[in-house]
Structure 1
Amino acid sequence: MRVGGVRGPVRLEVATTDAAGHRWESSGTYPVGADGALVFDDAERPWWDMTFADAGAVPVAFTAPDTELRYEVRVSADGAPPGTAVADVRRRWGPGWGAEDVRGDGFVLRIYRPNGAPGEAPGVVVVPGSTGVSAMAPTAALLASHGHVAAVLGYMQEPGLPSTFRQIPVEAILAGLRAFAALPGIDPARVGVLAVSVGTAAVLAALSGSDAPPVGGVVVVSPTHVVWQAQAEGPPPKASMLTRDGDDLPYVPIRAEKLIGQILRTQLARRFSRRPRSAALELLPAFRAGLSAADAVGNAAIPVERIAAPMLAVAGEADAMWPSAAMARALLDRRREQGDTSHDRLLLLPDAGHFLRAPVTPTTVDRNESLVSGGTPQGTARGQRTAWDAMLRFFTETIP
Structure 2
Amino acid sequence: MRVTRTTLVAWCVCVVAVVVACLVATSEARTPSYYSVLGVTAKASKREIKRAYRKLSRELHPDKNPDDPDANSKFMEAARAYEVLTDEKLRQIYDRGGVKAVEKHEKQAASGHGGGFNPFDMFGFNRGGGGGNQERRGPSIEIEFEVALDALYEGTALEAQFAKQVICPECDGTGAEDPDDVQTCPVCGGRGVKITRHQMAPGFVQQMQTTCDKCGGKGKIVKSVCRACRGRKVVPGSSVIDIVLESGTPDGHRVEFPMEADQAPDMVPGDLIFVIKTAPHPTFTRDANQVDLHTSATISLLDALVGFSTPLVHLDGHTVDLENVGITRPGQVIKIAGEGMPHFETPDIRGDLYVTVHIRMPARLSSGQKDQLRKILAE
Q: TM-score, normalised by structure 1?
A: 0.19
User: When you count strand as a share of all residues, which structure comes out higher?
Assistant: 2
